[in-house]
A and B are shown apart, each in its own frame.
Chain A
């Protein structure tokens, strides 16, 4: 069943292969499919189980918690972040989600991250470095519900922005919680506007909710300023 589904995806995505079935095209098709299969085996990616509903992308759950008393540095951030696991189907997602605490019940300074498989939840990742995020600050008590709505929309491809979505984060803080969704290209205003509108729809936010878009380069700069760091180039 999965193979059939993959074949279907291939057919639709490659318009050029459909128009004229010349012999050249058909020769080209075969090795491509073989390559793809080999890649899957090589990378040992998770695949949907039999009878499960495949997702458009594989995703990975991460968890991070700031060690109390120690200032965060990029390195310790990467060390503090733990992979929980990856999934490829709706059912596999629920298996993780149902065995994880709800974000509203997390304690301390901690985050759940849900990113496409292969993208690290870090500003520096290749997929993120030109990107940014929409941030919504929530009063205590709303994080669990909003997080669930946010990730269900992401997994179900409700944002309709092609490959642009990288992942989502829920951050539990002292007085408020923050949810955010990251995309690849911060300068792409059509995409960021569409993400904002989808967020309003799926989170059912009241019209006066403040939503802030922040580029990761700005986040890095703010972080460096806060920690009293100056760029190697001397400027800021």
Chain B
């Protein structure tokens, strides 16, 4: 095996993955989480990119999420027209699924903040 070392292109076990942090919010809140989601190599089914709810909600505040996606079909009452400005507000904050709604959620996005529900 050692003689083959020059020929082989086998890679070392990857131990680093670079994650760009644009915002302090994207830092994990405890030491068992890595920025950018936790990468498990031994979950059933192989490698998985795992994100918890809190991290996903924090990503919502990224400037990258403000622009509407390209090719968003205009469906009246379903998809909203391209936003007019960074500070647009709808009548009661319910018509458009936008920042006005996400703001309170991100402030208490922890697992404990879930509402109690009676169905």
Contact A142 B48 (CB under 8 A): no
Interface residues on B, range: 35 or more
Q: Are A153 and B97 in contact, with the CB atoms below 8 A?
A: no
- Mark out the residues of chain A between 207 and 222 whose CB falls within 8 Å of any chain B CB in the assembled complex: 209-210
* Known contacts A18-B10, A26-B10, A95-B69; A156/B50 CB under 8 A: yes
Per-position binary interface string of chain B over residues 18-37, scored 1 when its CB falls under 8 Å from any chain A CB and 0 otherwise: 11101000000000000011
Q: A95 to B69, alpha carbons, bound, how many Å?
A: 6
Select one of A157, A203, A210 contacting B48, CB under 8 A.
A157
Cβ contact of A53, chosen from B51, B66, B95, B116, cutoff 8 A: B51
Q: Specify which chain B residues have a CB less than 8 angstroms from the CB of A149 in the assembled complex.
A: 53, 114
- The reply to whether B115 and A152 contact each other, CB–CB distance below 8 Å, is no
On whether A55 and B49 interact (CB within 8 A), knowing A23-B8, A100-B97, A105-B95, the answer reads: yes
B51 CB, nearest partner CB in chain A, Å: 4
- Measured CB to CB, the closest approach of chain A to B68, in angstroms, equals 5
Chain A CB within 8 A of B17 CB: yes
CB 8 Å contact bits of B33-66 with A (1 = contact, 0 = none): 0001101010111111111110111011010111
Q: How far is the CB of B53 from chain A (nearest CB, A)?
A: 5
Q: Is A92 an interface residue (CB 8 A)?
A: yes
20 A-B interface contacts by CB (under 8 A): A8-B14, A18-B10, A21-B1, A25-B8, A26-B10, A53-B37, A54-B49, A63-B78, A90-B51, A90-B56, A91-B62, A92-B69, A94-B62, A95-B69, A99-B82, A106-B77, A138-B119, A139-B119, A162-B46, A206-B117
A-B residue pair count with CB separations less than 8 angstroms? 180
With A82-B73, A97-B97, A157-B49 known to touch, is A20 a contact of B79 (CB < 8 Å)?
Answer: no
- Report the Cα distance A85→B74, complex, angstroms: 11
**C-beta contact mask, A12-25 vs B, less than 8 Å → 1, else 0?**
11000110111101
Cross-chain contact A156 with B37 (CB below 8 angstroms): yes
Judge if B87 is at the interface, Cβ distance under 8 Å: no
10 additional A-B pairs beyond A84-B73, A139-B119, beta carbons within 8 Å, are: A8-B17, A13-B47, A21-B10, A51-B64, A84-B79, A87-B69, A97-B97, A101-B95, A156-B50, A206-B117
Is A109 an interface position by the 8 A CB rule?
A: no
What is the interface of chain B, defined by CB distance below 8 A to chain A? 1, 4, 7-11, 13-14, 17-20, 22, 36-37, 39, 41, 43-53, 55-57, 59-60, 62, 64-69, 71-73, 75, 77-80, 82-83, 94-99, 101-102, 114-119
Q: Which chain A residues lie closer than 8 Å to B43 at the CB level?
A: 160
When the two chains form their complex, are residues B65 and A95 in contact, meaning their CB atoms are under 8 A apart? yes
Contact B53 A100 (CB under 8 A): no
Q: In the complex the two chains form, what is the Cα distance from A145 to B71 in whole Å?
A: 26
| Cα distance, A190 to B98, chains bound together (Å) | 38
Tell me the chain A residues, 30-62 only, with Cβ under 8 Å from chain B. 30, 49, 51-56
Q: Does A98 contact B (CB under 8 A)?
A: yes
Residues of A within 8 A of B118 (CB): 206
A142, B117: Cβ atoms under 8 Å? yes
Complex Cα distance, B119 from A145, in Å, reads: 13
The smallest C-beta distance from A91 to any residue of chain B, in angstroms, reads 4
Q: Are B97 and A98 in contact (CB under 8 A)?
A: yes
Query: How far, in whole Å, are A49 and B62 apart by their CA atoms in the complex?
Result: 13
A199 within 8 A of B: no
